[in-house]
Amino acid sequence: MTARTDNVTDPALAAQLLLARRGTAYFSRKLNELSDPELSGPSLLDGWTRRHLIAHVGYNARALTRLTEWAATGVETPMYASPQQRNEEINFGATLSPVALRHLSEHAIVHLNVEWRDLPAEAWQAQVKTAQGRIVPASETVWMRAREVWLHAIDLGNGGSMNDLPNEFVDRLTPEIVALWKARGDTVPNLVLRPTDRDGLEYRLDDATLQQPAVLRGPAAQLLAWASGRPWDGLECDREVTPVAPRWL
Ligand code: ZN
């Protein structure tokens, strides 16, 4: 008998699964609001139509399914054979008929969810490797998926908004992006991010040893839009020109 519920004992992981599933539902809702001809329109991502984006999100679920299967079986199955294979797959997916594209999305979602649901409690800690070569526990696939579905639902460009993102998502991703810039040694603007809807929370981009940093303030979700390189709204900077965020991915 296959278990009908997750084999998850860690409440934090259970919360992450819920966040990913809510994001998946949000992505599917935005996708279902698009007519077939609208699928060929541009996404908010440079050079990608919605077809490319939907194919990418579908194939991403399959790639994360492979990592989850790796955790379950111990047989190494990488997310993608190579970056080239990943890109070719997306370009191919973008040529699928609307019905096939919608089927890819739905089927990939169901398959990943089944693998997560049936993964034994201890296997969530099994080590797997991401496409970037990071060694992570299988539980990381849940957060990786949450990021994809929530942000790419907005990138579909049919009314999804950063303001729809749950606070727990925003408050995890923004510091993660800031930490990534620092870990990579990126040149960051001398800036403090100050969410106006979070008590006492701020993110410092620089050591600011020489000069008083500028403050960029506004809703936390819009600061995430800025940090993730997406269109933002309602931010105020005490410098004349709002600095551009370093690249994220
Ligand atoms: Zn993506």
**Ligand 1 centre distance from Cα of residue 144 (Å):** 9
**Ligand 1 centre distance from Cα of residue 56 (Å):** 7
- Residues 233 and 223: beta-carbon distance below 8 Å: no
**Ligand 1 centre distance from Cα of residue 173 (Å):** 14
Q: Where are the alpha helices (DSSP H) in 94-195?
A: 98-118, 140-155, 167-184
Six-digit token pair at 227? 């940090």
Which of 64-78, 164-178, 210-224 is predicted with the least confidence, judged by mean pLDDT?
A: 210-224
Six-digit token pair at 16? 């992450």
pLDDT tens sequence across 162-186:
999 999 999 999 999 999 999 988 8
**Ligand 1 centre distance from Cα of residue 152 (Å):** 7
Beta strands in 19-69 (DSSP E): none
Question: What is the structure's pLDDT at 2?
Answer: 52
- Within a 13 Å sphere around the CA of 161, how many CA atoms are in the beta-carbon half? 7
**Ligand 1 centre distance from Cα of residue 149 (Å):** 8
Domains of the chain with CATH codes: 11-160 (1.20.120.450), 167-237 (3.30.1050.20)
- Residues 39 and 54: beta-carbon distance below 8 Å: yes
- Residues 174 and 224: beta-carbon distance below 8 Å: yes
Q: Using 50, 70 and 90 to split pLDDT, how confident is the model at 206? A: confident
Helix, strand counts (H, E) of the chain: 7, 6
Question: What is the structure's pLDDT at 186?
Answer: 87
**Ligand 1 centre distance from Cα of residue 154 (Å):** 12
CA-CA distances (angstroms) from residue 81 to 11, 55, 96, 115, 143? Answer: 33, 17, 21, 20, 22
**Ligand 1 centre distance from Cα of residue 151 (Å):** 8
pLDDT tens sequence across 77-129:
999 999 999 999 999 999 999 999 999 999 999 999 999 999 999 999 999 99
Indicate whether 209 pLDDT > 70: no
